[in-house]
A and B are shown apart, each in its own frame.
Chain A
């Protein structure tokens, strides 16, 4: 069920990496920003968590644009080789991780948070599910679908795909690459924050540092599905989400190792990921 949520998380990361070529290691921290926005609105004003999705989306989109324009624009334009870009963007992401984690920890403290919402169970095809998981899965599918339509059919989406394929060429045909980078980065941030908000509805054990784990899962899905492949991320998210939860029920500690071994096995067969080009 939560595979869909993971698919959404991975899709956001894939948009960021596919278009800007910046691997956002701080992605998990963006999730936590979404989670904390939902938490703080719910906690202080009692606003319905589903309504706070709009707010976390808004905040994340602005934050994404700011991060892209302030930090990564300069890093992209100044890097002479792919390796240099990797080194620098990794370093910048580490910086972001520190800043976001500790800002959250300073403001909200480190006690685990969560928003109790729709905890009652319902029956679907004879199996019991918690309602919030069903809602989260449905929302994830819907948001992913909207993003897919956006990338596939709008002018901006087309420009994004062009930039991902050939940055110099895109610039030559008159695409404002800077703008496209900012849009894609912010789109990824929106996906992250929305997913984070929904995680906050489902779990009650999130703290400022738990973003790393979800970021890591998103990264693994990205590699597993293949870079720049929307479908790959969606399918990878479903596979990884399923594996992760199957193991989480039996032996929680082996959940990440299981995903890791799955990833390694797939990379042995297909070094560029399932749908990688």
Chain B
């Protein structure tokens, strides 16, 4: 910030105020929300953070990753195994939970580097498939480890009370938001965006595209690892099928594109709307609701390429111009 003037406009102040109100609301939510609504809020926060991690890499660079589940699940399952070994069986030393989350994220980070280096040379669709397969491949590997080495398919996790769970996830999500927001506004985010606009031009401008892409991919994976790790507290028992569920791969792009991928806040709104709808309507009329979601998603793909936020904005502009 040195040497640069901070020019705050009314819009900035408004945005900061809104963010502050939301954070205060989230921080005090357990005091006035019951268990059920708290769990919905907790899941919504988790999805929003997962979506923003996806958004940071995939929509900036245009490399569509369908492998969120691989990193989310790795974070989640590492934590599950760790808690099982340390707290329940006492084989490993018990570390403070934030350290565990940090470790899980770093594991996802390191793990993402290997496929990242190989698959990021592939353009477009090939990359999407390679990452999509990664999620299922990880499930298989963990499945093998858990059933062969640990002996049972399901892993027990020490129970957490709902407030601890909520605050763990909230704190992790906020940290992820902050980290990604800073990177998004930084030179690094700009480099990622130039790759999305025109990769060859980025090379000529002196961007080390391979390095930037791999690092961006790994950072996004790290954030997913953090979130997965914090989400472990929700379960008392988990298995590879649960941790690496396909929906963790498919829903982040859906939610992000539902809201729009033009600006930082659009995917967040998209994920919050979809996740809330999901929890309120999806529970009672599971299949019909999902069919409707499918139709909505197709309509968005066909008629609102900029997502609902962009669609609403465009139409407001049109209306105001007309009057």
Asked whether, in the complex, the Cβ of A220 is within 8 Å of the Cβ of B133, the reply is yes
Asked whether, in the complex, the Cβ of A75 is within 8 Å of the Cβ of B144, the reply is no
Q: In the docked arrangement, what's the CA distance between A168 and B254, Å? A: 31
Chain B contributes a number of interface residues (CB within 8 A of A) equal to 46
Q: In the docked arrangement, what's the CA distance between A259 and B119, Å? A: 15
What are 16 contact pairs spanning A and B, CB under 8 A?
A17-B125, A91-B300, A92-B298, A92-B301, A94-B253, A94-B254, A95-B297, A95-B301, A97-B250, A98-B294, A102-B290, A106-B288, A220-B129, A256-B136, A260-B133, A267-B126
Asked whether, in the complex, the Cβ of A267 is within 8 Å of the Cβ of B122, the reply is yes
For the complex, is A9 an interface residue (Cβ under 8 Å from B)? no
Q: In the docked arrangement, what's the CA distance between A135 and B246, Å? A: 32
Having A74-B302, A96-B294, A101-B290, one finds 6 other A-B pairs with CB under 8 Å, namely: A92-B298, A99-B295, A254-B140, A257-B141, A260-B133, A264-B115
- With contacts A88-B301, A98-B297, A267-B130 taken as known, whether A105 is within 8 angstroms of B118 at the C-beta atoms is no
Find A91's partner among B136, B148, B253 (CB 8 Å cutoff).
B253
For the complex, is A263 an interface residue (Cβ under 8 Å from B)? yes
User: Interface code A25-54, partner B: CB below 8 Å = 1, 0 otherwise?
Assistant: 100000000000000000000000000000
Closest 9 CB pairs of A and B: A98-B294, A95-B297, A95-B298, A99-B294, A253-B143, A260-B137, A91-B301, A106-B287, A92-B301
Within 8 A of B (CB), among A251-277: 251, 253-257, 259-261, 263-264, 267-268, 271
Q: In the docked arrangement, what's the CA distance between A99 and B287, Å? A: 9
Nearest A-chain residue to B250, judged by Cβ: A94
Q: In the docked arrangement, what's the CA distance between A95 and B296, Å? A: 7
For the complex, is B132 an interface residue (Cβ under 8 Å from A)? yes
Within 8 A of A (CB), among B178-222: none
Asked whether, in the complex, the Cβ of B291 is within 8 Å of the Cβ of A89, the reply is no
Interface hit among A78-86, A114-122, A125-133, A174-182 = A78-86
Asked whether, in the complex, the Cβ of A223 is within 8 Å of the Cβ of B126, the reply is yes
- With contacts A213-B136, A263-B130, A267-B119 taken as known, whether A86 is within 8 angstroms of B125 at the C-beta atoms is yes
Asked whether, in the complex, the Cβ of B294 is within 8 Å of the Cβ of A23, the reply is no
Find A90's partner among B64, B119, B141, B144 (CB 8 Å cutoff).
B64
For the complex, is A212 an interface residue (Cβ under 8 Å from B)? yes
For the complex, is A219 an interface residue (Cβ under 8 Å from B)? yes
For the complex, is B98 an interface residue (Cβ under 8 Å from A)? no
Find B118's partner among A101, A222, A256, A267 (CB 8 Å cutoff).
A267
Asked whether, in the complex, the Cβ of A71 is within 8 Å of the Cβ of B302, the reply is yes
For the complex, is B30 an interface residue (Cβ under 8 Å from A)? no
Interface residues of A (CB under 8 A from B): 17, 23, 25, 71, 74-75, 78, 82-84, 86-92, 94-99, 101-103, 105-106, 212-213, 216, 219-220, 222-223, 251, 253-257, 259-261, 263-264, 267-268, 271
Nearest A-chain residue to B302, judged by Cβ: A74
Q: In the docked arrangement, what's the CA distance between A271 and B123, Å? A: 10
Q: In the docked arrangement, what's the CA distance between A91 and B59, Å? A: 13
Interface residues of B (CB under 8 A from A): 62, 64, 115, 118-119, 121-122, 124-126, 128-130, 132-134, 136-141, 143-144, 147-148, 246, 250, 253-254, 257, 286-288, 290-291, 293-298, 300-302, 305
Asked whether, in the complex, the Cβ of B129 is within 8 Å of the Cβ of A103, the reply is no
Q: In the docked arrangement, what's the CA distance between A43 and B140, Å? A: 33
Residues of B within 8 Å of A260, CB to CB, are 133-134, 136-137
Residues of B within 8 Å of A23, CB to CB, are 125, 128-129
Find A271's partner among B121, B246, B257, B293 (CB 8 Å cutoff).
B121
Residues of A within 8 Å of B143, CB to CB, are 253
Q: In the docked arrangement, what's the CA distance between A101 and B288, Å? A: 11
- With contacts A87-B257, A91-B301, A94-B254 taken as known, whether A268 is within 8 angstroms of B118 at the C-beta atoms is yes
**Distance from B167 Cβ to chain A, minimum over Cβ atoms (Å):** 32
**Distance from A6 Cβ to chain B, minimum over Cβ atoms (Å):** 15
**Distance from A116 Cβ to chain B, minimum over Cβ atoms (Å):** 27
Q: In the docked arrangement, what's the CA distance between A253 and B250, Å? A: 22
Residues of A within 8 Å of B122, CB to CB, are 267, 271
Q: In the docked arrangement, what's the CA distance between A84 and B140, Å? A: 33
**Distance from A30 Cβ to chain B, minimum over Cβ atoms (Å):** 14
- With contacts A95-B294, A271-B122 taken as known, whether A223 is within 8 angstroms of B301 at the C-beta atoms is no
Asked whether, in the complex, the Cβ of B305 is within 8 Å of the Cβ of A253, the reply is no
Find B305's partner among A78, A103, A223 (CB 8 Å cutoff).
A78
Nearest A-chain residue to B62, judged by Cβ: A83
**Distance from A55 Cβ to chain B, minimum over Cβ atoms (Å):** 23
**Distance from A87 Cβ to chain B, minimum over Cβ atoms (Å):** 7
Q: In the docked arrangement, what's the CA distance between A3 and B9, Å? A: 63
Residues of A within 8 Å of B62, CB to CB, are 83
Q: In the docked arrangement, what's the CA distance between A259 and B136, Å? A: 11
Nearest B-chain residue to A105, judged by Cβ: B287
Q: In the docked arrangement, what's the CA distance between A94 and B249, Å? A: 11
Nearest B-chain residue to A82, judged by Cβ: B124
Asked whether, in the complex, the Cβ of A216 is within 8 Å of the Cβ of B133, the reply is yes
**Distance from A247 Cβ to chain B, minimum over Cβ atoms (Å):** 9
Asked whether, in the complex, the Cβ of A89 is within 8 Å of the Cβ of B140, the reply is no
Residues of A within 8 Å of B119, CB to CB, are 264, 267
Asked whether, in the complex, the Cβ of B144 is within 8 Å of the Cβ of A254, the reply is yes
Asked whether, in the complex, the Cβ of B129 is within 8 Å of the Cβ of A98, the reply is no
Find A257's partner among B121, B126, B137, B291 (CB 8 Å cutoff).
B137
Asked whether, in the complex, the Cβ of B130 is within 8 Å of the Cβ of A223, the reply is yes
**Distance from B285 Cβ to chain A, minimum over Cβ atoms (Å):** 10
Q: In the docked arrangement, what's the CA distance between A267 and B128, Å? A: 14
Q: In the docked arrangement, what's the CA distance between A220 and B125, Å? A: 11
Nearest A-chain residue to B305, judged by Cβ: A88
